Structure 1
Amino acid sequence: MLAGVGILGFLFWRLGAGPFLDGLRLIDAGALAAALGIGVLTTVCCAWRWSLVAGGLGVRLPLGSAVAHCYRAVFLNATLPGGVLGDVDRAVRHGRDAGDIARGIRAVVWERIAGQVVLVVIALGLLFAFPSPVRAYLPVATVVVATVGIGVFVLLRTLPRDGAARWTRPLRTAVADVRDGVLARRTWLGVLLASTVVVLGHLATFLVAARTAGATAPLSQLVPLTLLALLAMAVPANVGGFGPREGVAAWAFGAAGLTAAQGVATAMVYGVLVLVASLPGAVVLLVRRRRRGPASS
């Protein structure tokens, strides 16, 4: 969180308040409606992915319940420091409801990891296809990602199946979780489709934010820049969703020949659009608190 505060403070010092406010003044009803519509699609797909993974791990999770939990999580992620507290909340709540907190937590962890893996793969593909400030480093990044993936695969394949060593137990559990919850025949295609739609939905929201903030560059230039900012959001060092995203957007837009101020304005608009798209989660919070009221009194 301190890193996020530091990034925002640095940007404010270098660029002033203008980029933080200019984009916000341009937000209109069309952008808000687009964000809400895309948010419905991405939230339902996240819930579907979570339901598939949880079912593979033997923890029942109806899609309707998953959607409500995901909306609540998105709202908490967008308003609380770190950007992951909403996911922690839904993992623990679902685990308690299912009577197995550990398995509930693992279901959320694996569905989030699956989403991040798909994000990285799509990002590498698009960054190779379009010019960007990081294009020269992509071969090295691809080799590193591939090496890590192969290393993990080899480690898991050579893991003793019946070893009693303490360090092998978590690894065997992880292998079983990935096999049953992510890569099983009945789940892997759904997980892949849902994750792809989520990534494309977030990217579309970022492009709406860029246009709303006044960016007139062609999509071939904006797509890689917004992807870099999207990747930065995986860093859990933000303040209510803001921080690394704005820093990377400022650098990427500036390095691509646009302006750092344009990057900050785009990232700020994106943050507001995501917050608006998460507002159904606030309704879920209020409804559940009202239901608890009579029971607790």
Structure 2
Amino acid sequence: MNRSIWAWVRLLGGVGILAVLFWRLGTGAFLDGLRVIDAGTLGAAFAIGVATTVLCAWRWCLVARGLGLRLSLRTAVADYYKALFINAALPGGVLGDVDRAVQHGREEGDVGRSVRAVVLERTAGQIVLLSVGLTVLLTVPSPVLTQLRAHGADVAVAAGTLAVAAVVLVIAVGRLRSGASRWARAARTAVAEIRAGLLARRNWPGIVLASTAVLAGHLATFVVAARAAGSQASLLRLAPLMLLALLAMALPLNVGGWGPREGVTAWAFGAAGLSAAQGLTIAVVYGLFAFVAALPGLAVILSRAVARRRATARVGITVQPQVTGSGRSAAAVLEILPVRPGTAAPVRELVGSGA
């Protein structure tokens, strides 16, 4: 029941944000997002999406292999595309990641470890995004930073709350590690897998490189969206705004990725002295770019469905009687055609005998 309530909270949160944007800015900014897109901008966004997806899949391979799981880059790319499409097409924005984690876990015989590999892979990307985002926001002069400073008291309270929570967490983890409870074992397992999956010498350089390149790809897509929407602001002025939008996308209150991204982008552009409506249009264009970039995932889903259907059609059962010298049936042979494509020759099994 708690999971169901949380799912509704996430869905209604995203719908609520979009409803407020409709109310305050009207539908024009959303419709403009459809009008400004052309074949050139779509092609550029799609090409960037291919590069970022391959890099994300490579990062997943590094983490999974660090945890002792087998995962080829080709399979990872296909599964990642499928996950991106599911995330973009369904509410919540995480169902695709759940699907690829569970599917890979079933293939490897360890769903729990596969789920943790996906969590670590996504966490690595968020850590790089958070690090770069905070660095840019605190060092690049921007009216947005001025607005944040104007709410310094609220920020201080939030930071203090997080600090207290961090201290409590450290104390709790320390006690858990000293005990022999199930939670203590889980904490030790998590620490060991973080070291093996993320911090191992053979892994972390590639993970940092992939995560940084993926972030650069997302920013490049935002730039293409901004130029398509008619914004001529410099990259230095756009960078803090785009990073805020990307940080907002990590919030679990969305409908297929829509909601926080549009709300934060509209607010950030307004706070920066630009048009809030234009910021909303840019966010809409980015969302459409992201959906188009995820469309190969639909092809993966359809091709696998066709392959399963063909494999099922190849399944057949033939009973061949074995006749004795007197002409009486002594046994029957069950012939089963292969269920999966690529399986070896049909299996024959003696299933019965009689007079």
- The alignment of Structure 1 onto Structure 2 pairs a total of residues equal to 297
| Counterpart for residue 53 of structure 1 | 63
Output the TM-score relative to the length of structure 2. 0.78
Contact 1:232 1:248 in 2 (8 A): yes
* SS in structure 1 at match of 2:251: coil
Output the TM-score relative to the length of structure 1. 0.92
| Counterpart for residue 312 of structure 2 | 296
More displaced 10-residue stretch of structure 1: 141-150 or 57-66: 141-150
Q: CA RMSD in A?
A: 2.4
| Counterpart for residue 251 of structure 1 | 267
More displaced 10-residue stretch of structure 1: 127-136 or 274-283: 127-136
**How do 1:225-236 and structure 2 match up within 5 A?**
225-236=241-252
In the alignment, residue 88 of structure 1 is paired with which amino acid? V
**Please, which of 250, 254, 260 is the counterpart of residue 238 of structure 1?**
254
| 1:217-275 CA-partner distances (Å, limit 9, x unpaired) | 11111111111111111012211221111011111111111111111100000001111
**Please, which of 194, 206, 224 is the counterpart of residue 222 of structure 2?**
206
| Counterpart for residue 96 of structure 2 | 86
Q: Does 1:276 align with 2:296?
A: no
- Tell me how far 1:23 sits from its aligned partner: 2.5
| Counterpart for residue 127 of structure 1 | 137
Contact 1:52 1:187 in 2 (8 A): yes
Distance 2:15 2:249 in 1: 14
In the alignment, residue 130 of structure 2 is paired with which amino acid? V
Q: Percent same amino acid among aligned pairs?
A: 61
**How do 1:1-297 and structure 2 match up within 5 A?**
1-136=11-146, 137=148, 158=174, 163-297=179-313
Q: Which runs of 5+ in 2 are unaligned?
A: 1-10, 314-355
Distance 1:125 1:41 in 2: 25
More strand by share: 2
**Structure number, greater radius of gyration:** 2
Change (3 A) 1:185 1:216: same
Change (3 A) 1:43 1:148: farther
- Tell me how far 1:125 sits from its aligned partner: 1.6
- Tell me how far 1:134 sits from its aligned partner: 4.3
- Tell me how far 1:34 sits from its aligned partner: 1.0
Distance 2:71 2:127 in 1: 23
| 1:154-206 CA-partner distances (Å, limit 9, x unpaired) | 66995676741232121111101100010001101111101111111111101
Distance 2:290 2:254 in 1: 14
Contact 2:61 2:71 in 1 (8 A): yes
Distance 1:149 1:99 in 2: 36
Change (3 A) 1:135 1:266: same
Distance 2:307 2:56 in 1: 25
* SS in structure 1 at match of 2:202: coil
In the alignment, residue 18 of structure 1 is paired with which amino acid? G
Change (3 A) 1:226 1:52: same
Distance 1:178 1:152 in 2: 21
